[in-house]
Amino acid sequence: MTMPFYVPPEQLVKDRADFARKGVSRGRPIVVLQLEVGVLLIGENPSPSLRKIGEIYDRIAFAGVGRFNEFETLRVAGIRYADLKGYSYARTDVTGKSLANAYSQTLGQIFSHEIKPYEVDIVVAEVGDGLSDDKLFRVQFDGTLRDADRFAVLGAGEEAIAERISASLNADMSLDEAVVLATDAIQHVEEKEIDTSEWETGFLERSADRRSFSAIGPRGAAIGTRQLTNLVSCCTLPPCNVASLALRTSTGSPASCAGNVDSHPMRWPAISFVEWCRGDARPMCSSRTDLASISM
């Protein structure tokens, strides 16, 4: 009988962290800034259809870098979690902190128990009634959760970009000035000129009544709310079991595929928030895009 190779736990954790960190460092940077007028999220994204920044709930936004299929799965799971909690209780019960905690637990479990950890870093931003009420939470690939003060930076060149922004950021600056600050910092660190069409920008407006997220065009020109794409979740989930509050579907309830896939009926097992984020709940759909190979 052959004995399995022994790997010290600290070496195993280090190898997993190095692997995930390398994947995140290939992602194009994203900057999140707190301003008097709201919260700005901006990053380089040459793709015309795949989104790194999006709305989660009324006053909560999401941004992610790394593998697109992985952070998009987290975004979709977060939307379902927030909608279910807001429907079951009240819309005010959906907070950035509770969502960030759910993401932290999920990523921590995936990092510890799955063969391959997620190669993602994400930010959950919540705009409040005043600047002091804003919340920025950063969740790393291993589930590490920490709050950010004034701004957050994800992706390649993170430390250099953060240093430039920290020296110039002023909460009183206008939205246009904040966009210029963020784009100039990213371009300076990457040492290249980025075309205005390759910037993806989202904004949480403080003065909005309820839904505060909107997309804005290059250099701050408002273009209205963007229709966010959902490429990973190619199939629709059946109604949720509201009592469990764990994103569980009814066992055996049918779901059907839609979009650029071969439509076919299938049945969903009972799944949890962690299982959905981990990918256990995804159906075997034949998509025309290999999302697992895309780093953003």
pLDDT digits (tens, 9 = 90+) for 224-251: 333 222 322 323 333 333 333 233 333 3
| Mean pLDDT, residues 213-222 taken together | 62
Burial 57-73 (b: 16+ CB within 10 A, else e): bbbbbbbbbbbbbbbbb
> What residues contact residue 21 under an 8 Å CB cut-off, 6+ apart?
141
Q: Is the pLDDT of residue 39 over 80?
A: yes
- Asked whether 71 and 64 are in contact (CB, 8 A), the reply is yes
Residue 48: per-residue pLDDT:
82
Look at residues 44, 99, 91, 52 and name the one whose alpha carbon lies nearest to residue 226.
52
Is residue 153's pLDDT more than 70? Answer: yes
Q: Residue 1's pLDDT is what?
A: 59
Q: Which residues of 126-150 are buried (b: 16+ CB within 10 A; e: fewer)?
A: bbbeebeebbbbbbbbbbebeebeb
- Radius of gyration for the chain, computed over Cα atoms and rounded to the nearest angstrom: 19
Mean pLDDT of the chain: 78
pLDDT exceeds 50 at position 287: no
| Chain segment 100-148, per-residue pLDDT in tens | 999 999 999 999 999 899 999 999 999 999 999 999 999 999 999 999 9
Residue 172: pLDDT over 70: yes
CATH level 3 topology of 9-233: Glutamine Phosphoribosylpyrophosphate, subunit 1, domain 1 (3.60.20)
Residue among 203, 270, 205, 204 at smallest CA distance from 243: 270
Residue boundaries of the structural domains of the chain: 9-233
Mean pLDDT confidence for 286-295: 48
Per-residue pLDDT at 7: 81
Model confidence at 280: pLDDT above 60: no
> Could you give the C-alpha distances from 288 to 83, 260, 261, 285, 292, in angstroms and in order?
29, 7, 7, 10, 12
Compare 243 and 279 and report the one with higher pLDDT.
Answer: 279
User: Quick count: other Cβ atoms within 10 Å of Cβ 95?
Assistant: 17
Helix H or strand E encompassing 138:
strand 135-139
Average pLDDT, integer, range 62-88: 95
